[in-house]
């Protein structure tokens, strides 16, 4: 007999729009319907900007209610009769949609999941595993696959105190690069320095291009990791050196408008608009990067800080906080058990 209840609580929306459209809803819970189904009872799930983009309609969606959440930690609550890789009671951490929910169903063959074994984890570990993967793996894959950061490179990291930014700063600095971290306040920049950035720029009070030129002896940076999007695009382009790489990966200030490809010619710029999932499709890619990330966090080589945990029912406030641009580190929601 399945222990999955008929209904469960989710955070989602019926109508696209602003924060008032975020609702905690009681909907039908997923059930085991095929032999390969795995149902996870979620414990903690990380906040990410992408949920806001779906809510606002920046990215399209059709299923209603739309359930927020892209990553979580939890415990396997039920498995189909043919499942061998997971047992009820196994702790797991995974990347998937629909994680702002008490229960999430995935197939046993699902790739982007780590089975953490049958021993129960500490609450702190569930918190960490619920929030490290999306931003941590974005940074890790980007410094290896989008632009292979090398020793002595000068690298510009936007929103360096933010979710992806804190990981980017640390991974790039650990490769021996000269990280130039950009952020909006002196508190954020202090943090960025502690994470290993050699130089910091407050874009509210300083001219980013002039400072980059000063730091790099007039050459510019070999790569820019730009999550801010619309507001920083031109500055990033100007700050790049000849043969530089522009990794444009986010829209915090708005989507980058279309541009003429000829804009890249004067400095032979390489421009990418990568997404994390494109780098972790294959099982070996997922295993390589997720293990590296977990080891880095566990060993303390990489600092990861959850700055606030919200109950699932307060996700609207959490989304407001994240999207205001004032937060640092990681925000997570705690799923009611």
Q: How far is the CB of 177 from ligand NDP (least distance, A)?
A: 19
Q: Both tokens of residue 151? A: 């020793």
Chain positions 200 to 229 lying near ligand NDP, rule: CB under 6 A, are: 227-228
Q: Which of 163, 196, 220, 244 binds ligand NDP (CB under 6 A)?
A: 163
Does position 172 bind ligand NDP by CB under 6 A? no
Which tokens sit at 33?
A: 């319907």
**Footprint of ligand NDP on 259-298 (CB under 6 A):** 274-276
Q: Specify whether the CB–CB gap between 130 and 93 falls below 8 A.
A: yes
Identify the sign of the CA torsion 205, 207, 208, 212: negative
Among 11, 42, 48, 224, binds ligand NDP (CB under 6 A): 48
Contact 70, 99 (CB under 8 A): yes
Q: Is 236 in the site for ligand NDP (CB under 6 A)?
A: no
Binding track over 305-334 against ligand NDP, x by CB under 6 A: --------------------x---------
Nearer Cβ to ligand NDP (102/328): 328
Alpha-carbon span 163 to 225, nearest angstrom: 13
CA distance from start to end of the chain: 20
The CB-of-24 to ligand NDP minimum distance in angstroms stands at 22
Near ligand NDP by CB under 6 A: residue from 67, 93, 159, 333: 159
Q: Choose which of 24, 96, 174, 184 interacts with ligand NDP (CB under 6 A).
A: 184
3-class DSSP state of 256: coil
Q: What is the DSSP letter of 266?
A: G
Helix and strand numbers (H, E) in the chain are 9, 16
Query: Which lies closer to ligand NDP via its Cβ, residue 12 or residue 162?
Result: 162
Out of 251, 256, 294, 302, the only residue in the binding site for ligand NDP (CB under 6 A) is 251
Mark the segment that binds ligand NDP (CB under 6 A) among 45-53, 75-83, 85-93, 313-321: 45-53
Nearer to ligand NDP by Cβ, of 48 and 98: the residue is 48
Determine if 253 is a binding residue for ligand NDP (CB under 6 A): yes
Q: Is 145 exposed, middle or buried (0-12, 13-18, 19+ CB in 10 A)?
A: middle
> Using CB under 6 A, which of 162, 196, 220, 244 touches ligand NDP?
162
280 — phi, psi (to 5°)?
-130, 30
When binding is defined by CB under 6 A, the residue of 40, 50, 157, 302 that contacts ligand NDP is 50
User: Can you list the alpha helix ranges (DSSP code H) found in the chain?
Assistant: 49-56, 123-131, 133-141, 163-174, 186-194, 208-215, 233-239, 283-298, 315-323
Which residue's beta carbon is nearest to the bound ligand NDP?
Answer: 162
Q: Which residues contact 267 (CB under 8 A, 6 or more apart)?
A: 220, 240, 241, 242, 243, 244
140 binds ligand NDP (CB under 6 A): no
Using alpha carbons only, how large is the chain's radius of gyration in Å?
20
Rounded-to-integer distance, Cα 10 and Cα 199, Å: 43
Should residue 183 be labelled a site residue for ligand NDP when binding is judged by CB under 6 A? yes
49 binds ligand NDP (CB under 6 A): yes
Under rule CB under 6 A, residue 131 binds ligand NDP: no
Residues binding ligand NDP (CB under 6 A) = 48-50, 134-135, 138, 159, 161-165, 183-184, 188, 227-228, 231, 249-253, 274-276, 325
């Amino acid at each position: 007999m399945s222990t999955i209840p008929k209904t469960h609580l989710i955070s989602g929306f019926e109508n696209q729009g602003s924060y008032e459209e975020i609702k905690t809803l009681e909907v039908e819970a997923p059930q085991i319907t095929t032999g390969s189904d795995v149902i996870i009872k979620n414990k903690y799930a990380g906040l990410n900007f992408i949920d806001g983009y779906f809510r606002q309609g920046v990215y399209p969606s059709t299923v209603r209610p739309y359930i927020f959440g892209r990553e979580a930690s939890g415990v396997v609550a039920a498995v189909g009769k043919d499942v061998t890789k997971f047992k009820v009671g196994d702790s797991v951490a995974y990347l998937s949609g629909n994680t702002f929910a008490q229960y999430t169903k995935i197939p046993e063959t699902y790739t982007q999941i780590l089975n953490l074994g049958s021993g129960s984890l500490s609450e702190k570990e569930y918190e960490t595993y619920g929030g490290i993967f999306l931003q941590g793996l974005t940074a890790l894959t980007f410094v290896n696959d989008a632009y292979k950061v090398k020793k002595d490179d000068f690298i510009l990291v936007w929103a360096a105190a933010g979710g992806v930014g804190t990981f980017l700063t640390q991974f790039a600095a650990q490769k021996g690069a000269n990280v130039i971290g950009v952020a909006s306040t002196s508190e954020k920049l202090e943090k960025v320095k502690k994470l290993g950035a050699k130089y910091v720029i407050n874009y509210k009070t300083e001219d980013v291009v002039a400072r980059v030129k000063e730091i790099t002896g007039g050459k510019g940076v070999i790569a820019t990791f730009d999550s801010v999007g619309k507001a920083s695009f031109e500055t990033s382009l100007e700050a790049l050196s000849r043969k530089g790489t522009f990794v444009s990966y986010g829209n915090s200030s708005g989507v980058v408008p279309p541009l003429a490809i000829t804009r890249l010619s004067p400095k032979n710029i390489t421009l990418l608009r990568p997404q994390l999932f494109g780098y972790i499709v294959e099982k070996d890619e997922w295993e390589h990067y997720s293990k590296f990330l977990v080891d880095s966090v566990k060993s303390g080589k990489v600092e990861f800080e959850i700055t606030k945990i919200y109950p699932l029912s307060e996700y609207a406030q959490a989304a407001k906080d994240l999207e205001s641009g004032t937060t640092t580190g990681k925000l997570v929601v705690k799923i009611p058990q």
